Amino acid sequence: MNRVSFFQSIRLKIIIILTLFLLLAIQVIGSYFINQLEESLHASFEDNLEDRIQILTTNLEEVFKKEREETDEGPTLQEEIRDIIDRYSTDIFTDLQVIDSQFRVVGAVGSSDRVGKRITGDSDIDGALQFSLEAEDRFRTRYTNDRTIRKTVPIIDSETETPIGVLQVDASIEEIYEQLEQTTKIFLNATMIALLVSVVLGILVARSITKPIQEMRKQATIMARGDFSKRVNVYGTDEIGQLAMTFNNMNDKLMLANQTTEEERRKLSSVLANMSDGVIATDEKGRISLMNDPATQLIGIPFEEAKGRLIVEVLQLEDKVIDVKELEETGSLTIDFSTEEELFLVKASFSIVQDEEETFTGLITVISDVTEQEKVERERREFVSNVSHELRTPLTTMRSYLEALTDGAWEDKNLAPQFLEVTQNETERMIRLVNDLLQLSKMDHKESGMNVVQIDIIQLVNHILDRFEMNKLEHIGIRRKIPREEILVWIDPDKITQVIDNIMSNAIKYSPEGGKITLQVAKERNRIKISIQDQGLGIAREKVDKIFDRFYRVDKARSRELGGTGLGLAISKEIVEAHHGHIWASSIEGQGTTIYFTLPLVVRKRGGRS
């Protein structure tokens, strides 16, 4: 798992949130405070300004109401007004002028050049003298750019209620904004300090919150690797502490569940690994996700190569099914993987996998090699067919001759003996066939017991050949290549005699007139090898291995003519293999056939024979 950077961590988010909350609170408080302070300063300034104006207008009213004589005694109007202005005017006024009812300036603060001049074109002064209207203007001065309030106030005669003059004053309010600016700076400094403190507190708070979360994250990473041995520290009983306790409880349950799952996985792996059948699992799309070793061997494709491929493609079922879900309805299929050289059949059984909502989630396929079963089944069908054919031929012959005898041929002294002889020969042929079949059946069921004795195989072979030479046809010769030493073997003499008789009989049947049969006995390391070679027409290479199959004949017509059942070499093979030996043949067309079989020698031990 990737490490979370500080800029992406919840700790930074907590610090930012706390800081923003504090900043928002300070901004709200600061804005409200500054606004209230500004309003308060403005109100105080205007109240002070109104008080000063009220004092001036009251005094100026008394001055304007005095009757003055044209004498030089006493101060003039301008002097009295000048005295009042000097007495009651303060630094609050940046400019002040007093205008009489004739629009003449009779008093002023600052420049005295205006005194005695008429004011024309001033709407505020006109309104005050004509309609007793007060006026207030706000503007910035031309040179200093200070914010200024200008008030134009009529001087009213209290008796006649008529304006007798005008007082016009200018007052700068720049000092108010300077105070607000200083206050704002102080507030900003306090805000910075508060933010710094909040960041420190936020770090401490965030650390106390995120530390157990980080521990749980580390533990989750360890758990993801399959290690459930460690636990998370519990720092309290609050929500995070309860979360840590719940996390530890989950860890214990996951450990138990993982152990159970691991045991089941081991069992499943062991079952899959030790199954003789192949198992293939797919996902909902039919793509292979699991395959055991037997399945790999059966289909001949490694799991790494088959993984992710469609099972329909791997099992070569494109021409049988379109959708993988159809395989479940099919149940099982026999798939032919045969080549020109070898038969290979695989049986595949399909079953679907569903979740709790019965939704198709995959497919389980069990495959097994049924080649041997198919071979056995084919051999069984062929065996039944051959037995039926072998029995039907003599029975048909016997029926034909018996019907002829019944129809009156028995009265013919020449034909009747011939018909009876043929019937007798066919009967003996069927008896031989049935006896051979019974013998093979007993061997197949391990019911044919052998009387094994220790015997000299050289003496036994010579005895068998002597018997054949006494009864052999004149046009066939027998050549012996047999050592003159004693060779002891553990065998059933009657069974081995039957083997040599069968091979010799076949050699005699297929040998041409004047041909020779060669029997050779060779002693090898732990066995003896006996070979019987004829000079017949030989057998094609592709048919050599089939001569030991039941009912197989190279020349069927000649075999039946000579009374063969087609089981002699098959019985010989069973007998030799029962003696732990091996039998085989080699042949060259036009040059003859050689049958070989081996038998184990008696193992000699120190101090005697075993």
Rounded to two decimals, what is the model's pTM?
0.41
3-state secondary structure 421-461: HHHHHHHHHHHHHHHHHHHHHHHHCCCCCCCCEEEEHHHHH
Contact between 343 and 375 (Cβ < 8 Å): yes
* pLDDT (tens digit per residue) in 376-432: 777 667 666 666 666 676 777 778 778 777 877 777 777 778 778 778 777 877 776
Which pLDDT band holds residue 44 (cuts at 50, 70, 90)? very high
Chain-centroid distance of CA 610 in Å reads: 64
Q: What is the mean pLDDT of residues 572-595?
A: 88
Burial class (CB in 10 A: 0-12, 13-18, 19+), 573: buried
Q: Please tell me the predicted confidence (pLDDT) of residue 70.
A: 46
Which of 62-76, 112-126, 248-262 shows the lowest mean pLDDT across its residues?
A: 62-76
- Non-local (6+) Cβ contacts of 459 within 8 A are 486
Tokens of 416: 């009747």
**Choice between 156 and 474, residue whose per-residue pLDDT is larger:** 156
Strand-pair partners of 456 = 488
Q: What confidence score (pLDDT) does residue 10 get?
A: 72
Report which of residues 441 and 101 the model is more confident about: 101
Single-letter amino acid code for the residue at 285: K
Give residue 107's pLDDT.
87
Of the candidates 551, 560, 601, 603, the one whose C-alpha atom is nearest the C-alpha of residue 581 is 601
Residue 573 neighbours by CB under 8 Å, 6+ apart: 548, 583
**Quick one: which of 302, 306, 269 has its CA closest to 287?**
306
Confidence of residue 328 (pLDDT cuts 50, 70, 90): low
Q: How do residues 184-198 score in pLDDT, each as one tens digit?
A: 898 889 888 888 888
Token duo for residue 457: 């195989």
- Superfamily of structural domain 453-609: Histidine kinase-like ATPase, C-terminal domain (3.30.565.10)
The CATH fold assigned to 281-364 is Beta-Lactamase (3.30.450)
User: Closest Cα to residue 153, out of 167, 170, 163?
Assistant: 167
Q: What is the pLDDT of residue 135?
A: 92
Burial of 385 (0-12, 13-18, 19+ CB in 10 A): exposed
Average pLDDT, the chain: 80
d(CA 189, CA 202): 20
CB 597 within 8 A of CB 569: no
**Residue 459 — very low, low, confident or very high, per pLDDT cuts 50/70/90?**
very high
Q: Where are the domains of the chain?
A: 12-179, 229-274, 281-364, 375-444, 453-609
The terminus-to-terminus CA distance of the chain in angstroms comes to: 73
Asked whether 450 and 439 are in contact (CB, 8 A), the reply is: no
**CB-neighbour burial class of residue 285 (10 A; exposed 0-12, middle 13-18, buried 19+):** exposed
Q: Which residues of 222-238 are buried (b: 16+ CB within 10 A; e: fewer)?
A: ebeeeebeeebebeeee
Tell which residue, 90, 120, 88, 115, has the closest CA to residue 103: 120
Describe the crossing of helices 415-444 and 371-406 by its angle, rounded to 10 degrees.
Answer: 160
- Tell me the DSSP string of 394-415: HHHHHHHHHHHHHTTGGG-TTH
Q: Read out DSSP for 331-372?
A: -EEEEE---SS---EEEEEEEEEE-TT--EEEEEEEEEE-HH
Q: Interior CA angle at 345 toward 342 and 349, to 5°?
A: 165
Q: What is the DSSP string of 162-231?
A: -EEEEEEEEEE-HHHHHHHHHHHHHHHHHHHHHHHHHHHHHHHHHHHHHHHHHHHHHHHHHHHTT-----
Across 433-441, average pLDDT: 68
Task: Give 546 or 128, the one with higher predicted confidence.
Answer: 128
CATH superfamily of 12-179: PAS domain (3.30.450.20)
DSSP 98: E
Q: Is the pLDDT of residue 349 over 80?
A: yes
Architecture of domain 375-444: Orthogonal Bundle (1.10)
Looking at mean pLDDT, say which of 104-108, 235-239, 241-245, 540-544 comes out highest: 104-108
Q: What angle do CA 419, 421, 426 make, to 5 degrees?
A: 95
Confidence of residue 530 (pLDDT cuts 50, 70, 90): very high
Amino acid 260: pLDDT: 86
> Which among 166, 183, 173 has a CA at the least distance from the CA of 131?
166
Given a cut of 60, is residue 592 above it in pLDDT?
Answer: yes
Task: Say if residue 71's pLDDT is above 60.
Answer: no
The two tokens of residue 436 are 């051979």
Return all residues near 583 (Cβ < 8 A) that are at least 6 apart: 548, 572, 573, 576, 577, 595, 596, 597, 598
Exposure string (b/e) for 108-124, b if CB count within 10 Å is 16 or more? bbeeeeebeeebeebeb
Mention every residue, 6+ apart, whose C-beta is less than 8 A from residue 154. Answer: 128, 129, 132, 133, 134, 163, 165, 166, 167
Contact 248, 270 (CB under 8 A): no
How do residues 21-31 score in pLDDT, each as one tens digit?
888 888 888 88
* Same fold? 281-364, 375-444: no
